[in-house]
Amino acid sequence: MFNFFHRLLRRNQPKTGLPAAEPAPPRATSHAGDAPQATADAADTPDTSDTSNASDTPTRRGFVCREPILDRQERIAGYAFDLHAKLQLRLRLQQDPTARRAYDDALLRNLTALDVHGLLGHRLAFVHLSPASLGHPLIERLAAQNTVLMLTLEASAMPAPTALQAQLDALRQRGLAHGWLLQKVHLKDHPGLLDLAAQADYVQFQTGEFDGLEIKTLIKMLDAARPAGRARLQLIAHELASFDEFNLCFQGGFDYFLGDFITRRDNWHPPRSDINRLLVIKLLNLLRSDTELSVIAPQLIGDPVMSFKLLRYLNSSAMGLQSPITAMDKALLVLGRSRFYRWLSLLLFDIKSPGYRERMLIEQALTRAFFLEALAGQGQLPKDGDELFLLGLFSMLDLLIGQPLPNILDQARLPPAVHAALLGEPGIHRSALELAIAAEDPHSTTLEQHSAACGLDAAQITRYGVTALTRAHEITTLSESA
């Protein structure tokens, strides 16, 4: 827990060397943003030297999307990375293998430039490619220990099975796992696909295309064709729209799960917490109104849970204080107004016994907050990183508390621009929030529009999005292990 709060409150540079937002007190006013930064380096521009005949090669506007994948412990095991839904649709319509290779090139360049595998830690990165791109030199730069190459025949012809399997065996020798995406049309058009899938490490079913009996039959056929002595084939259920669908696949023995069910809030009930959230909001308001810390301290003392958490954090080895602090007024002086405000804001997301939906809520809120904070001063966005952080964090507070957001905002004295944006009023803060929401949705059709409104490009969105995801994961991992 000590390291958890220490990392929440510290203002270090992100690990990837990206520009960090300058600290500013939460009540500071916004300023006009700088002009868009130039990010046109080799890593952001796909190499299309061997795809010159492609009808529509990707550019920096090729957004990379991510989709969370749950394991059987209902924890986020990794993320599936692919080009955004609009580009995938374009590929399906074109059915152009040359264009597909160009898009694969763009995806690999984005992921290797970010060192996305290093950022994800122990989590898996499922990278969607066509078989024709298995010889791409950038695959050599992917981290073997947590990369899974997911192969799809979308807009791609099936290479000769023998030569293809030799490529896959060579990649396995390097430590790279691979899997196949199974769709009805591909199984029909390519009879050899099932045998190739049986030799893979993962198989992903587009569950919406099959009924239960068909899935059971396919699994039996895969098991029968699997080479002796090979580890058990890992099964991935895709396109799960509801908890009921997730539960059916869970009972059916699937290992990983992805789909809209992960972020849906059907029959949602506010999660329990040991924290008095109304008191937290009251203390936030006192800080915003410049109330002296000596006046705030007695109110904090009246809540033993919050007092204990704050003193335990300040007296931890992570803070490195020479002598312990026992008085609350001194504790607040050491912490300072800005860090105390941030600590209180994050304390709102302290949840007791979280399930997968609660974990996703926490990680999504933190990712959104860190993403917007990192974009401070980029493009047309304001320079105040703290305001943008609060904007992202408070945008999901209605789900956490179980009250309409306008009611919560009536109680919380947020910066005027943040308050207005959360209520849907137009302005650059609202545009920033809409961008963050679109960036989280792999099916969004408005991401390009929102990024243009903020003066940002695809490279920036992808870069800061993955970095924010990493920071959020680091925080939630420390919180759960505390």
37 inside domain:
no
Q: What tens digit of pLDDT does each residue of 366-399 get?
A: 999 999 999 999 999 999 998 999 999 999 988 8
> How many structural domains comprise the chain?
2
pLDDT at residue 80 is higher than 50:
yes
Q: What's the confidence (pLDDT) of residue 62?
A: 66
Q: How far is CA 393 from CA 15, 346, 349, in A?
A: 22, 8, 9
Q: What is the DSSP string of 288-357?
A: HTT--HHHHHHHHHT-HHHHHHHHHHHTSTTTT-SS----HHHHHHHH-HHHHHHHHHHHTT--SS--HH
Where a domain ends, among 211, 238, 262?
Answer: 262
- 164 DSSP assignment: H
Query: Which residues lie below 8 Å from residue 107, measured CB to CB, with a gap of 6+?
Result: 62, 64, 81, 82, 83, 127, 128, 129
Same domain, 210 and 313: no
pLDDT at residue 251 is higher than 60:
yes
**Chain centroid to CA 291: how far?**
37
36 inside domain:
no
- Of the two residues 222 and 478, the one the predictor is more confident about is 222
Same domain, 177 and 198: yes
pLDDT at residue 51 is higher than 80:
no
Q: What tens digit of pLDDT does each residue of 330-359 get?
A: 888 888 888 888 888 888 888 776 778 888
Mean pLDDT of the chain: 81
Q: Is 156 exposed, middle or buried (0-12, 13-18, 19+ CB in 10 A)?
A: buried
Q: Is 229 exposed, middle or buried (0-12, 13-18, 19+ CB in 10 A)?
A: exposed
Same domain, 321 and 419: yes
57 inside domain:
yes
Same domain, 168 and 287: no
Query: Which residues lie below 8 Å from residue 400, measured CB to CB, with a gap of 6+?
Result: 270, 271, 277, 348, 349, 351, 361, 365
417 inside domain:
yes
322 inside domain:
yes
- Of the two residues 137 and 399, the one the predictor is more confident about is 137
Same domain, 159 and 48: yes
Q: Which of 95-99, 136-140, 314-318, 437-441 is the least confident region? A: 95-99
Q: What's the confidence (pLDDT) of residue 53?
A: 40
Same domain, 255 and 331: no
**Chain centroid to CA 243: how far?**
20
Q: What's the confidence (pLDDT) of residue 381?
A: 97
Same domain, 180 and 201: yes
**Chain centroid to CA 117: how far?**
13
pLDDT at residue 260 is higher than 80:
yes
35 inside domain:
no
Tell me the two tokens of residue 229.
């002595």
pLDDT at residue 27 is higher than 90:
no
Q: What tens digit of pLDDT does each residue of 183-213 get?
A: 988 888 888 899 999 999 999 999 989 998 9
In the block, tokens 């066509």 appear at 130
Q: What's the confidence (pLDDT) of residue 314?
A: 83
CB atoms within 10 A of CB 259: 22
Q: What's the confidence (pLDDT) of residue 443?
A: 83
pLDDT at residue 45 is higher than 60:
no
Q: How far is CA 467 from CA 18, 53, 472, 474, in A?
A: 9, 34, 9, 11
Could you give the 3-state DSSP secondary structure of residue 158?
coil
The alpha carbon dihedral of 469, 470, 471, 474 has a sign of positive
- CATH number, domain of 181, equals 3.20.20.450
Q: How far is CA 184 from CA 127, 215, 256, 353, 467, in A?
A: 21, 11, 20, 40, 36
Q: What tens digit of pLDDT does each residue of 142-169 get?
A: 988 889 999 988 655 677 888 898 999 9
Q: What's the confidence (pLDDT) of residue 231?
A: 92
pLDDT at residue 21 is higher than 80:
no
pLDDT at residue 133 is higher than 70:
yes
Element (H, E) at 128: strand 124-129
Where a domain ends, among 262, 282, 305?
Answer: 262
- Of the two residues 415 and 44, the one the predictor is more confident about is 415
pLDDT at residue 223 is higher than 70:
yes
297 inside domain:
yes
- CATH number, domain of 404, equals 1.10.3210
Same domain, 133 and 103: yes
Same domain, 57 and 102: yes
Same domain, 332 and 433: yes
367 inside domain:
yes
Same domain, 258 and 270: no
Same domain, 257 and 277: no
Check if the beta carbon of residue 466 is closer than 8 Å to that of residue 110.
no
Where a domain ends, among 262, 295, 312?
Answer: 262
Q: Quote the percentage of the chain above a pLDDT of 90.
A: 37
pLDDT at residue 49 is higher than 60:
no
- Of the two residues 113 and 426, the one the predictor is more confident about is 426
**Chain centroid to CA 362: how far?**
11
Q: How far is CA 455 from CA 35, 38, 92, 301, 464, in A?
A: 8, 11, 30, 46, 14
| The model's pTM | 0.76
> Domain of 218?
43-262
The torsion angles phi and psi of 449, rounded to 5 degrees, stand at -65, -45
Q: Specify which residues 147 forms β-bridges with.
A: 125
- Of the two residues 418 and 48, the one the predictor is more confident about is 418
